[in-house]
Amino acid sequence: MCYNKLMKTYIVGNWKLNFTVGEASIYLHKLLKAMPNYRDIDVIVAPSTIALQPLSLQVDRHKIKLAAQNGFYRDYGAFTGETSFSQLRGIVDYAIIGHSERRYIFREDDKMVMRKVAAAIRNKITPILCIGETESERTFGETADVIRDQLSGGLSEVGDDDIDKVIIAYEPVWAISSAKSAKLATPDEVADAVALIRKTLKDLYGKAGENVPVLFGGSVNPSNAGAYLTVPGVNGLLVGGSSLILSEFVDIIETAKRVR
């Protein structure tokens, strides 16, 4: 089955801890002017939490949708400093959950990730569940175990009826630009990991898991976006640094349109 042609393509820009609210607004304005409305491509940007509400009033959701970079799994309560998915409901359409920086800097484990995935779905927000191995885990041949464990752990409260509300992003920690010894993942390496992800989804959910979108994230830029987008089973990209540079992000979006 050619997943790439059957599914929508997703291009997600994760702005991380960059841009003030004003800078984010200016960037979004320029991005909206620079791109048409693509029917088969969902362009998604994930600003910092403080910028989400004002940008939600500015964005044209026919062209671009908003994602949260994080959220808390409880809907309300005494949790100083947190933002719940219930508070994000109506502001964002997507949420990045389990990003490697949340896992390895903020020590979020699979149980926390699982709770956040469930909370996002409960609040009508599509979770983009990030999974991927570290350089050490890859060196010791643990890639398959990590992928299976993070995937099954993050989805452990998602039933067959809700799996179509989830997006998976394969993000090998050793390939992201913020890693100390980052190196580019080859298309063959991505293909092997995505094949395992799809097999695991089918094992967990049967036919219902076959058409879950799978994205790749790992130092994606305009020069390699096309190669990653043509990997069998890849339905889009999670973009970091290049999503902060307007010309590069637009180039990646246009590449996605060409290779569909």
Selecting among 133, 137, 171, 248, the annotated active-site residue is 171
Single-letter amino acid, residue 8: K
Residue 178: what pLDDT?
A: 58
Element (H, E) at 80: none
Please give the C-alpha separations between residue 210 and each of 43, 202, 219, in angstroms, as whole numbers.
Answer: 23, 6, 27
Selecting among 99, 101, 108, 133, the annotated active-site residue is 99
Residue 137: what pLDDT?
A: 95
62 is catalytic: no
Residue 183: what pLDDT?
A: 83
29 is catalytic: no
In the chain (260 residues long), the average pLDDT of successive 10-residue segments reads 65 98 98 93 98 98 97 97 98 97 95 98 98 95 96 97 97 77 87 97 96 96 98 97 98 94
Residue 6: what pLDDT?
A: 56
Judge contact between 200 and 214, C-beta under 8 A: no
pTM above threshold 0.75: yes
Domains by residue range for the chain, with CATH:
3-259 (3.20.20.70)
